[in-house]
Structure 1
Amino acid sequence: MQTSTNYTQQPLDTPVLLIIFNRAHTTQKVLDRIRQVKPKKLYVAADGPRPGHETDAVRCAEARAVIEQVDWDCEVKTLFREQNLGCGVAPSSAITWLFEHEETGIILEDDCVPSKSFFWFCQELLEKYKNDTRVMHISGNNYLNGWQRDSDYSYYFSNKVNSWGWATWRRAWQLYDFNLGNYPELKNKGYLNGIFLNKFEETYRLSKIEETIANLQKGDVWDYQWEFTVYSNSGLCIVPEVNLVSNIGFGEDATHTFNQFEEKAKIRENEISFPLRHPRFVIRDQESDRRYFNRMMRDKASAKLKALFNFSL
């Protein structure tokens, strides 16, 4: 059994997918952390330059050049796009590409800096739950600010997807549908009733999915589709007891994470203790989900006010 001091002595056999675009500085920080754990396989997918953005060609080339720094014994596979697919199609097709070759994978984008223990957390749980189709997603994110319902265990089960550093299986990803083809039937026939904590959360979550459907042609979102995949298959997501991945991509050059006043922009990555303390059950923790949703709503409202008035409340 691994201990808190020797888990990193285990080889990292799980393939890692790094999704990049045009930010060499953030890509460098993520690769530096990947270098510390030396995975045996590294997949790198890069979207192409955007039409009409004069600096993109150079910036994309600079980000791709960072990958040339891989200096450990590692099989590197690349998917470098010539055309720009957008920040929805490009990541989702990159994940599909990964699972055309692998049964499991750890997925990082170019602004998600993981702790070292994140990789072994994912690897151990990918093995433990590989045949349990109830579990579809292993998250590196915990935004409960230290609150725990049950400190006896290293993680809990949720139905909420957080994808700033995560892992999954081919068996789960093969259920993914970028176009959300099942949504109208499930919504109209009431199959989604009871999935959410209350009517407010239902309205919020489904509005995001419907907004995604309305803007499918833009192709700039992929994670709401994955969240719906989990919902529509009664799936569960594993959430660690501490946050294992920080997002360093908040700012003006981001696509979605513009607001640097969001609480998530300040949360750093932590290490999790080994050996992992596994729950003896597989049940969604609704109380933790409720606290997370309420905290997220408060944070979004606060961040908007801070951005509007540009001061700390």
Structure 2
Amino acid sequence: MNTAPIVLFVYNRPWHTRKTVEALQANELATISDLIIYSDGARNSESVESVQEVRNFIKSISGFKSVKIFERDKNWGLAANIIDGVTTVVNQYGKVIVMEDDIVTSPAFLKFMNQMLDYYEKEKKVWHVSGWNYPIETEGLGDFFFWRVMNCWGWATWADRWSYFKKNPKELVKKWDKTKKKHFDLDGSGVFWNQVLRNAYSSLDTWAIFWYASIYENNGLCLNPTISFVKNIGHDGSGTNCSSSKISQEISSEASFIEYPVDVLESEQAVHRIKFFYKINTKSLFLRGVNKFCRSFFNKNLF
């Protein structure tokens, strides 16, 4: 198998980074996969020690075909670091598997991602391969499904698709009509379009929502496993864009005997179930505002 390189983005979380790497090392394709690590620089004096601890650890990593490390000499921030790193690696290799420092994979993760990258490389409707799925009812969805939204907890793509990536929130606000905005927002979930607005008005600086927007503008589809191959361990308040969460995460350890869908079409069943997931799990704007205030001053959520 011509395995895709793994690009891993790390910052100042030694424990999370170690768990992420140990899980990747347990994958059967690790020894024939290149690992490329981008270590962001410290944002302030308080981060210097933990950034150095992470850098000391990543220099000891083995168990992969090769390990290459890029240490940023200043703080780029998560979004800029990922955009630059993914662009560099995918342009060199033609495809890429992308990880952040709080994603623990199953031993079957690399096998699944590489299988999907190989199988759908020439299917131009497929733009993105996800490693995670929502905790939804799985009956009738098959081994995986297609839909409009990308997930960034362990994902992969190809160079020709990533070449369309564009981050220009104000252009989207101006150009898209109400119908398009609502459909992009998973028919008014309140989750996705709000991220574009917050980036447009500088209250948020992220990248993933614009990869989704780039896919959406070009009528692409994202491939999702029905049972996740990853879990996020960063919802403990330690991440840049992750607050505390209690999302249940079941992980698959099997990537064999995959049944491929006959048609590359969005799954109405999956979309309906994920929309319901957001309906019952998304707090009101008021409650989310209260929690944000409590995290800032008391370091915990009220609700």
TM-score bucket (shorter structure): 0.7 to 0.9
Partner of 2:92: 101
Summarize the Cα distance change of 1:80–1:197 in structure 2 as closer, same or farther, 3 Å threshold. Answer: closer
Superposition pairs for residues 212-251 of structure 1, below 5 Å? Answer: 212-215=199-202, 220-251=205-236
Hey, what's the Cα distance between the residues in 2 that align with 1:95 and 1:207?
25
Does residue 1:128 correspond to 2:158, yes or no? no
C-alpha displacement at 1:194, in angstroms?
Answer: 5.0
- How many percent identity over aligned positions? 22
Choose the corresponding residue for 2:246, options 247, 263, 270.
263
Q: Output one character per residue of 1:155-198: Cα deviation in whole Å (capped at 9) or x when no partner.
A: 00011111111111111111111234651453149655755653
Contact 1:20–1:110 (CA under 8 A) maintained in structure 2: yes
Distance 1:22 1:195 in 2: 33
Partner of 2:195: 208
Q: Number of paired residues?
A: 289
TM-score when normalising by structure 1: 0.84
Aligned with 1:50 (options 40, 43, 47): 43
Q: CA RMSD in A?
A: 2.5
8 Å contact kept, 1:103–1:169:
yes
- Letter of the aligned partner of 1:40 in structure 2? S
Q: Tell me what 2:130 maps to.
A: 139
- 1:155 matched to 2:140: no
Alpha-carbon distance in 1 for matches of 2:273, 2:197: 24
Equivalent in the alignment of 1:4: none
2:266 is the counterpart of 1:284: yes
In 1, the alpha carbon distance for the partners of 2:83 and 2:228 equals 24
| Structure 2 SS opposite 1:69 | coil
Residue 36 of structure 1: aligned partner: 26
Query: Secondary structure at the residue paired with 1:156?
Result: strand
Q: 1:86 to 1:105 in 2, by over 3 A?
A: same
Structure 2: gaps spanning 5 or more residues? 292-299
Unaligned runs of 5+ in 1: 1-10
* 1:226/1:12 CA distance change after superposition, 3 Å: same
Moved over 6 A (4+): none
Report the TM-score, using the length of structure 2 for normalisation. Answer: 0.86
User: For the structure 1 residues 215 and 78, does the alpha-carbon distance in structure 2 shift closer, same or farther, using more than 3 Å as the test?
Assistant: same
8 Å contact from structure 1 (residues 45, 78) kept in 2: yes
Cα displacement string for residues 12-36 of structure 1 (whole angstroms, at most 9, x for unaligned residues)? 7221111100111111011111212
SS at match of 2:21: helix
